[in-house]
């Protein structure tokens, strides 16, 4: 990190990185589940089966969106809507690579043939441009037919898994209340067997947030090279709204309480810090964690590629099965419906005054407490959906996860500084592991920690088998960035 030399009112060095565009984003950030939003006018999360799912995850905010369409009996996207969407979306993108994202509900419920037709339509309208598809699934229905299709068409799969069985099955159950873990693991093996590229998406909630290293090490052992950790935060009202919903917007005026499955803010911070401490000592350049990669972007002086940390949002929209376009996946509410692509062109809806205001509000509605925060450059208020607390001064709009993110961003500060400096020197950020091993060794020496004592990094290993070994065999200072 590159701080300016000013100090904030609390006496801390202000954590403001120096902007540097010398190293392009894609040269040093390998996480690849999402397109860099700065390169695209807008991105759409497409829900061809709407909220319909074969699981009944207790924390899912999207299942109740079925109530927004009380007269719908068939949830599959109609062929004319699919074709119109693909044509309009490709035409609206100014780039040579077009990224589609398919989600639900559970999109595999539509069957492979639906997506074979989708690929045919993409080829018809591509006009020489490259098409890439990302596909989020719970993995329950995956078999070799799906695996062969994904591999043949080079789909990138996002697989939802919340950790080992006792943590995954705490909330991710089927319609009978039975855990889904074993079926998800079978789906993962299908992807591996067919050579399909996949990432894991892990929601962080009240159950698994207490077990950060167990979650991280499990995912690592399963071969997940790319990890997303998504906090679960929802508020629920005792009375169902007129739209049939119980999980409400941050501006909901009546009484609403944080759900019992939502992650607690400080525990979320501890979760991230614990995983980061393991990653920064052992896995930099080998395991890619979305939040850590995005943090390095920000410490390097670039704007985040992840919408929740950008100054403004509004470029990541959501489309329902019938063509209704909404401002965001987390804002599928009647007041955030922009229109229908069968009636108004997709590009016009995405660039409408309503959507532009939605995106600008992320910045313009930040409370004063956030404007003077030393980690604002990294946080930017995070997702507007989570801004329902009051600041210490009584101003509305403070993010529920504020305490957790402050904890995390302060914790990673020295490590991000080091990695950003390595990038500036055109060296590998993975060199941080050698530096951390040296720093840990100094602490061990000062504390007279023996070779056979437990390592201070918290890995659970003996010092001689952990940070001492890393110090002795870590990457050289001259390691190239390509070694990442």
Which residues have a catalytic role annotated?
329
Residue 402: name the closest of 380, 423, 421, 418 by CA: 380
C-alpha 318/C-alpha 324 separation (Å) is 8
107, 155 Cβ separation under 8 angstroms: no
Buried b (16+ CB within 10 A) or exposed e, 386-417: bbbbeeeeeeebbbbbbbbbbbbbebbbebbb
From residue 97, alpha-carbon distances to 25, 39, 51, 313 in Å are 16, 10, 28, 22
Residue 193: name the closest of 151, 234, 235, 226 by CA: 151
Counted residue by residue, the chain has a size of 484
DSSP string, 223-240: T--EEEEEE---EE-SSP
First-last CA distance in the chain:
19
DSSP string, 243-292: TS-SB--TT--S--EE-TTSPPHHHHHHHHHHHHHHHHHHTBTTBEEHHH
The answer to whether the bond into 197 is cis (omega within 30° of 0) is no
C-alpha 322/C-alpha 25 separation (Å) is 36
Buried b (16+ CB within 10 A) or exposed e, 26-45: eebbebbbbbbbeebebbbb
302, 21 Cβ separation under 8 angstroms: yes
């Amino acid at each position: 990190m590159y701080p300016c030399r000013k100090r904030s009112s609390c006496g801390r060095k202000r954590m403001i990185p120096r902007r540097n565009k010398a190293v392009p984003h894609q040269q040093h950030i390998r996480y690849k589940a999402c397109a860099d939003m700065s390169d695209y006018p807008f991105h759409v999360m497409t829900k061809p089966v709407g909220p319909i799912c074969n699981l009944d995850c207790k924390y899912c905010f999207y299942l109740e969106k079925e109530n927004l369409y009380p007269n719908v009996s068939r949830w599959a996207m109609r062929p004319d809507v699919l074709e119109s969407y693909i044509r309009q979306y490709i035409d609206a993108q100014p780039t040579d690579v077009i990224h589609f994202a398919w989600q639900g509900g559970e999109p595999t419920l539509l069957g492979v043939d639906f997506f074979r037709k989708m690929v045919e339509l993409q080829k018809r309208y591509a006009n020489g441009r490259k098409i890439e598809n990302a596909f989020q699934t719970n993995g329950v229905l995956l078999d070799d037919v799906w695996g062969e299709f994904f591999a043949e068409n080079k789909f990138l799969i996002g697989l939802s898994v919340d950790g080992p069985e006792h943590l995954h099955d705490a909330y991710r159950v089927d319609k009978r209340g039975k855990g889904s873990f074993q079926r998800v693991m079978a789906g993962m093996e299908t992807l591996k067997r067919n050579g399909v590229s996949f990432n894991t998406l892990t929601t962080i909630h009240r159950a698994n947030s207490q077990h950060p290293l167990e979650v991280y090490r499990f995912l690592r052992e399963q071969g997940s090279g790319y990890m997303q950790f998504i906090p679960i935060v929802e508020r629920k009202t005792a009375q169902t709204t007129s739209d049939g919903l119980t999980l409400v917007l941050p501006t909901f005026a009546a009484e609403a309480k944080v759900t019992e499955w939502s992650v607690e803010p400080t525990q979320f911070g501890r979760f991230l810090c614990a995983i980061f401490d393991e990653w920064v000592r052992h896995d930099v350049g080998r395991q890619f964690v979305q939040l850590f990669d995005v943090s390095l972007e920000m410490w390097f002086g670039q704007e985040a590629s992840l919408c929740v940390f950008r100054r403004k949002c509004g470029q990541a929209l959501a489309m329902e099965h019938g063509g209704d376009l909404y401002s965001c996946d987390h804002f599928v509410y009647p007041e955030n419906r922009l229109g229908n692509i069968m009636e108004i062109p997709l590009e016009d809806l995405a660039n409408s005054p309503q959507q532009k205001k939605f995106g600008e509000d992320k910045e313009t509605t930040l409370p004063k407490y956030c404007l003077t925060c030393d980690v604002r450059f990294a946080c930017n208020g995070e997702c507007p959906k989570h801004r329902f607390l009051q600041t210490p001064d009584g101003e509305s709009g403070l993010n529920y996860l504020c305490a957790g993110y402050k904890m995390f961003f302060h914790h990673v500060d020295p490590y991000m500084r080091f990695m950003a400096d390595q990038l500036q020197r055109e060296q590998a950020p993975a060199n941080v592991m050698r530096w951390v091993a040296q720093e840990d060794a100094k602490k061990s020496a000062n504390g007279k920690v023996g070779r056979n004592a437990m390592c201070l990094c918290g890995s659970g290993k003996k010092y001689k088998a952990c940070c001492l070994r890393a110090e002795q065999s870590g990457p050289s200072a001259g390691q190239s960035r390509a070694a990442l």
